A and B are shown apart, each in its own frame.
Chain A
Amino acid sequence: MQLLNTLLIGVTAGSIYALMAIAFVLVWRSTRVINFAQAGMALLSTYFGYEAVSRIGSFWVALPVAMIGGALFAALVELILMRLLVKHASSGPIAGVAPIIATLGLLGVIRSVISMIWGGQDLRIVAPISNDGFTINGSTLVFSPLKLLVLVVVAVLLLLLTILFQKTNLGLALRASAHAPEIARLSGVKVDSVRTLGWALAGAAGAVAGLFQTVNGNGNFSPDSIEFSLLLVSGFIAAVIGGLDSLLGAVIGGLFLGITISFVLMYVSSGLFFIAPFIILLLVLFIRPQGIIGVKAGRRA
Chain B
Amino acid sequence: MHKAKQESTHLTMFILGGVVLYFLSGMVDELRVYQGATIAVYVIAISSIILLTGYSGQVSLGHGALMAVGAYAAAVLRIEFNLPIILCFVVAVLAAAIGGALLGAAAARLSGPYLAGTTLALAIGLPSLANQFEVLGGEQGLLFDVGFPPLALGEEFTQYKWFFWIAALAALISMWVVRNLLNSAYGRAWKAGRGNEVAAQLTGINTARSKVLAFTISAGIAGLAGALLAMTIGTVSPSAFPLSLSFAVLTGAVLAGITTLGGVILGAVVLVIIPELADVIAHRLGAAESVTINLPGLIVSGLLILTVLFVPNGPVEQHRARKAKHSALLGGTHKKMQ
Contact = CB atoms under 8 A, between A and B. Distances in A.
A116 interface: yes
B159 interface: no
Interface stretch (B4-12, B69-77, B80-88, B291-299): B291-299
A102 B106 contact: no
Contacts of A269: 132
A107 B59 CA distance: 17
Contacts of A88: 309-310, 312
Interface string A34-69: 101000000000000000000000000000000000
Contact of B293 (A89, A115, A278, A282): A115
A146 interface: no
A19 B250 CA distance: 29
Given A108-B300, A112-B301, A275-B125, A100 B116 contact: yes
Contacts of A97: 53, 57, 59, 112, 116, 258
B122 A108 contact: no
Nearest to B306: A105
Contacts of A277: 121, 124-125
B298 A281 contact: no
A233 B312 contact: no
Contact of B297 (A106, A112, A233): A112
Given A97-B57, A101-B254, A120 B293 contact: yes
B14 interface: no
Interface string B295-325: 1011011101100111011000000000000
B195 interface: yes
B200 interface: no
Given A98-B312, A108-B247, A240 B117 contact: yes
B259 A104 contact: no
A188 interface: no
Nearest to B113: A34
Interface residues of A, number: 58
Interface in A235-261: 236-237, 240
Nearest to B102: A282
B308 A233 contact: no
B302 A229 contact: no
Given A119-B290, A237-B121, A299-B111, A108 B297 contact: yes
B308 A105 contact: yes
- Interface of A, secondary structure class, is helix
A181 to B, nearest CB: 19
Nearest to A81: B305
A224 B110 CA distance: 29
B187 interface: no
Given A112-B297, A236-B117, A101 B110 contact: no
Given A104-B247, A233-B120, A92 B114 contact: no
Interface in B123-138: 124-129, 131-132
B194 interface: yes
A111 interface: yes
A289 B57 CA distance: 20
Nearest to B128: A274
Nearest to A272: B132
B93 interface: no
B236 interface: no
Nearest to A100: B116
A231 B114 CA distance: 16
A93 interface: yes
B26 to A, nearest CB: 37
19 contacts: A36-B116, A84-B309, A89-B308, A93-B54, A93-B312, A99-B113, A102-B305, A102-B309, A112-B294, A112-B301, A115-B294, A116-B295, A232-B120, A233-B117, A274-B128, A278-B126, A286-B106, A299-B109, A301-B111
Q: Which 9 A-B pairs have the closest CB atoms?
A: A108-B301, A34-B113, A105-B304, A275-B125, A112-B298, A274-B128, A105-B305, A278-B121, A112-B297
Interface of A: 33-34, 36, 81, 84-85, 88-89, 92-102, 104-109, 111-113, 115-117, 119-120, 226, 229-230, 232-233, 236-237, 240, 269, 271, 273-278, 281-282, 285-286, 289, 298-301
